[in-house]
Each structure stands twice: as structure tokens, then as C-alpha cells.
Structure 1
Amino acid sequence: MYWQEESNEEQFVVPEDVVDLAFRIDCPTLPVDHAWALSEAIGAELPWFSEEAQTGLHIVHVADTGNGWERPTDADDLLYLSRRTPLVLRLPRHRTQDAHDLCGKTLSIDGHSMKVGNPKQRPLAMTDILYSRYIVCDPNWSEDDFMAWAVEELKGMRLKFKKILCGKGFELKHPDGPIQTRSLMVANLSYEDAVYLQEEGLGPHREMGCGLFIPQKSF
């Protein structure tokens, strides 16, 4: 058998221009749809958060378990967080120290209390397959419309990829009206392109967790 890789990435090192900052939290419960409320609570402590380029919030997720419990999907249902569940912010390196202002604060998210502890810094993932749970889309778009838009946007970023896959839709609450989103997987990226897509994201409302890419299995 003859096998030639398309590129040699053995020496690739993930840059740390943009990183994830994972805070320990004490927060027993959150509503499933907490994106806006959590973003507002963070913005009250970090006024620059929603305006800073390459900044975003990873919506808190709780994985399904193997004993039959499935993550609820209704917006007002509750997520039950373990003590290991973090609050994760994506930040440009020059804002990581500023984000420490959250440490020791207690945030109120739709009446649910979140005490924020110390963070750990994580580099972006070195992977060839990325996933975003929430990409903002036009509510009138079909799946084909969304896919066509996503392909053009990714090509406009000069990214090289071989596969993209559209997933289910999800609606996020917002004071100006609901925000329609779809999930998106992008595969067969070079490590360099994958890091770039994680740094830049896709579409608006990063402060609410939209447009942020993670490894297919993460958080």
C-alpha cells in the first residue's frame, strides 16, 4: 500500500492568540436556554465582553448519561450541573487577565445563582473536525439555504474543507425576538484552518454562544 498524506502537520503548534478560559463554578441549576441571561450577567461584570473581537461565551451544556437520563430540550427546563461543569469563555490573549474580574463574583441567571471561581487556561483544539451547536440563520431558510450560505462563508474565509454537515435547529430567547440557529459540523480541515475557524467563529451573537466552534466531542 502507498499512502501519502496531503500535508505534514506533525510539527504544528497551536498558537495562543485566542484561548478558552474555563472557570470553576458553583451553580446547581440553569435553564436550558440561558444564553441571553448568562451573557448579560457576564457583561455586567466585564463591560467589554460583547464588543471585543474574538470573544465568546460557551453555553453551559450537561452531557447525557448512560443511565437513561437525557438532556432536556425545552427552553424553561432545568439543567443540573455537576461540580466539574465549568463556565468557559473564549478570549483573545490580551483579555484573559481582565476576565479574572469574574473570580469571586456571584452571577444571577434568571434567578439561578452562579458563584465563579478561579479559571484554567486551555489552548484551542488541534483537530481536523469542528462543530458548532448554534449558528445564527434566517428563520425562513431551508436546510439547503443554510448549507449554501455556510459554504460561501467558509470559502470566503479561505478555509479548505471537504465535508460540512447541518444539524438540528434551536431557538434562543432574546429581548428583540427569538434567534433561530442551526448546528454545523466542518470536517477535513488542516490544523491551521481549524484553529483559524475557532479563533474567528461564524456569524453573530458570539457573546451568547453562537458561531463558536469546538472539537466534535467537547465540554
Structure 2
Amino acid sequence: MSGPFVDLLFPVRGGLVPLDHGYLLFSALSHRLPDLHERPDIGIFNLRGTSADAHALHVGNGTLRLRCPADAIARLLPLAGSTLVLAGQPLHLGAPRVHALSTPSSLSARLVTFKHALDSVTFQASVLKFLAELGCLGTPALGRRRIVSISGKKVVGFALTVRELSPDSSLRLQTLGLGGRRHMGCGLFLPTTFQSS
């Protein structure tokens, strides 16, 4: 791990965007920060808002959460006061708050993806393998299967909760994530109580 990680929480004002918007959000942010592609250590959570229906999210007064090394904060601050365009909808970003990572014993991710892990058995095996590689001791529990669109392709993953984490394992899992596509909302963990879907 390269120094402490933090979450930057930008207030967002906007209208309706697709519920499945991880790739669109990454694309919009990349227009503002062209070198974002070269920063795999920056995680981009899906926007927080209110579900309008099965396919749309009403951002309203929502939140954009970015997880990054503390030394990357200055690089991301120019997003404050900017406008992103997501599926034709303008999203206005305010000044962010910096949130230090805590060390809860239970963490949840809305979506985790692994290559070739399309069913629960293969996915569970991948989770155990990669948790061990990260040096994280915990008890994983699979949630619902989800399919998201990334660059025109359908990607299969599962919601995941990992319980009985030590403080060190909790911090490591939040810092390093699990699986791929962290730029598109995948493999990023929050305290279990934060996850509503």
C-alpha cells in the first residue's frame, strides 16, 4: 500500500441518469481528468441518489465518492465547481469533503467482478483466492447477481459482503479493492451499513 487512502465526497446536483452508469461516469470524469486512465489506484463509486425506476437514478442532491491516495487529492480538486455531462444530463459538482477510512469488521460492495466468474460457485472460489492474495482474513457472503454494461459489453458480477475482518484486513480491502473495473464502480467497499442496494 502506498500511503493512506481517503474518500473524497463531492456534492452533486443533477437530474435523471441511467442506473447502470459506471462506465458513463468514468468517461465523463476522464474528459475533465485525461490522466485518470493511468491511475488504477483511484476508485470511482457509482453516484448516490434516489432510484426513479428500474433503469434510472435521480441524482437530485447526490454524492460522487472517489477513493484515492491522500497524495492524489490535489489532482482531483479541480473537479470542484465543474459540470459533468452524463447521458446528456448535466451534473454540477460542489466542493468535496475529505473522509478518512474507518476499519469496520463488515464491508460490502455493490458489485464485484472477476474474469470468467459468471456463476456463484466460480465467483466464490475467486473471492477466496483473491482475498488470500491480498492477505485479508474474513468471511465472504455473496449477494445478488448483477449485469452491467461496460463499453457496450455485458459484465456479470455479484454483490459481496465480507464479515469478521480485522482492522488491518478491513483497511487493506478498502484500499486495494477486489476484482477489476474499480474506475467503473466495481470492487469498491464501504461499511456494510452504508450499502442500501
Residue number in structure 1 paired with 2:58: 80
Distance 1:175 1:54 in 2: 21
Q: 2:158 aligns with which of 158, 173, 182?
A: 182
Residue number in structure 2 paired with 1:67: none
Verify: 1:200 aligned to 2:180, yes or no.
no
Q: 2:141 aligns with which of 157, 161, 165?
A: 165
Larger radius of gyration: 1
1:13-24 correspondence to structure 2 within 5 Å: 17-24=4-11
Residue number in structure 2 paired with 1:129: 106
**1:89-116 deviation per Cα after TM superposition (whole angstroms, max 9, x unaligned):** 1111111111011112111101111011
Residue number in structure 1 paired with 2:69: 92
Does structure 2 retain, via aligned residues, the 8 Å contact 1:45–1:102? yes
Distance 1:195 1:153 in 2: 15
Distance 1:166 1:73 in 2: 24
Does structure 2 retain, via aligned residues, the 8 Å contact 1:138–1:180? no
- The farther-off stretch of 43-52 and 31-40 is 43-52
TM-score by length of 2: 0.91
Of Structure 1 and Structure 2, which has the larger fraction of its residues in strand? 2
**1:176-206 deviation per Cα after TM superposition (whole angstroms, max 9, x unaligned):** 5112111111000011110111000011111
Q: Alignment partner of 2:96: what SS?
A: strand
Superposed displacement of residue 72, structure 1: 5.8
TM-score by length of 1: 0.82
Task: Say what the alpha-carbon RMSD is for the aligned residues.
Answer: 2.0
Of Structure 1 and Structure 2, which has the larger fraction of its residues in helix? 2
Superposed displacement of residue 125, structure 1: 2.4
Does structure 2 retain, via aligned residues, the 8 Å contact 1:133–1:210? yes
Verify: 1:52 aligned to 2:28, yes or no.
no
Distance 1:72 1:216 in 2: 23
List alignment gaps of at least 5 residues for structure 1.
1-15, 64-70
Q: Alignment partner of 2:8: what SS?
A: strand
Verify: 1:28 aligned to 2:6, yes or no.
no
Query: Match for 1:110: what amino acid?
Result: A
Distance 2:30 2:86 in 1: 12
Residue number in structure 1 paired with 2:96: 119
User: 1:22 and 1:96, CA in 2 relative to 1: closer, same or farther beyond 3 A?
Assistant: same
Residue number in structure 2 paired with 1:6: none
**1:51-110 deviation per Cα after TM superposition (whole angstroms, max 9, x unaligned):** 2132110101336xxxxxxx4674xx2212332x21111111111111011112111101
**1:131-165 deviation per Cα after TM superposition (whole angstroms, max 9, x unaligned):** 1111113466321111011011101111112x210
Deviation >4 Å, runs of 4+: none
Distance 1:40 1:56 in 2: 13
Superposed displacement of residue 175, structure 1: 2.0
- The farther-off stretch of 27-36 and 132-141 is 132-141
Question: Sequence identity of aligned pairs in percent?
Answer: 25
